[in-house]
Structure 1
Amino acid sequence: MARSLLLLVLLITLAVAAVGPARAGRVLGGWSPIPDMGDARIQELGGWALAQAKQERLASDGLRFRRVVRGEQQVVSGMNYRLYIDAADASGRSAPPYVAVVYEQVWTNTRQLTSFKPAIRGY
């Protein structure tokens, strides 16, 4: 009897833990908004992504980073970031926005540009 009760309590605890993130509007492993777009680290990550895109010839050399205007994050074995980047062309005019996806694993000092492409209008 005590064993059945313990098993029931354990199952209820696991069920509540599994439902908790879904209630908060998050899907486990899904993308969620970055809470503070003004965070210096997020802005630095956007600048790094554009510099890396230039190095990999995914963006023109004349493109200049202005700021990250919107972003999402996804917990994996590290963190994926989807960053919407406002940039300027060589003459200082606004360039079309770009979306950069960056994978970062802080504890191994890993940072990788996964993709960099023009954003779809209305981002």
Structure 2
Amino acid sequence: MRTSSLLLVAIAVAAAVVFAAAATPVTEILGGWGVIPDVDDAHVQEIGAWAVAEHIKRANDGLRFGRVSGGEEQVVSGVNYRLRIVAVNLAGQNVTYSAVVYEQIWTNTRRLLSFDRAK
């Protein structure tokens, strides 16, 4: 009798877990891109400023960082950031760019993978 009661409790708990998992919407796929919940976070803004500075080293086009206005992140062996960056060009116009930055904090590694005018 005691064994069957424990078995019923275990089945009920398992069913509740399965039901809760099925009712919870999946917003992110493991290893996939997910929306950055707070683009105003100081670290996200710093990555955006760094991306503009790295771009300037390569293109020497005089852009000035404005702010990160949106983005996504992907957890890999570090984090890939796909950012929408508003920057000011030499004519004083706000222009939106798309940048992809790879960052691995524990090795202090950061790479600018792409930097293009947003479409």
TM-score interval for Structure 1 and Structure 2 normalised by the shorter chain: 0.7 to 0.9
- 1:67-78 matches, within 5 Å, as 67-78=67-78
* Separation (CA, whole Å) in 1 of partners of 2:42 and 2:30: 26
1:111 matches 2:113: no
* Separation (CA, whole Å) in 1 of partners of 2:32 and 2:42: 24
Among residues 15, 18, 35, which one is paired with 1:33 in the alignment?
A: 35
The aligned counterpart of 2:99 is 100
The aligned counterpart of 1:24 is 26
Taking structure 2 as the reference length, the TM-score comes to 0.76
Counterpart code for 1:56: R
1:6-45: CA deviation from partner (whole Å, max 9, x where unpaired):
xxxxxx8xxx7xx78x942211111000011111111110
**Deviation of the 1:47 alpha carbon:** 0.6
Percent of residue pairs identical: 53
**Deviation of the 1:62 alpha carbon:** 1.7
The aligned counterpart of 2:62 is 62
The aligned counterpart of 2:8 is none
Taking structure 1 as the reference length, the TM-score comes to 0.74
Counterpart code for 1:34: I
* SS in structure 2 of the partner of residue 56 of structure 1: helix
Q: How many residues are paired up?
A: 102
**Deviation of the 1:54 alpha carbon:** 1.2
The aligned counterpart of 1:47 is 49
Higher gyration radius (CA): 2
- Aligned-residue RMSD, C-alpha: 2.2
* SS in structure 1 of the partner of residue 46 of structure 2: helix
Counterpart code for 1:103: Y
* Separation (CA, whole Å) in 1 of partners of 2:27 and 2:39: 20
Runs of 4+ in 1 over 2 A off after TM superposition: none
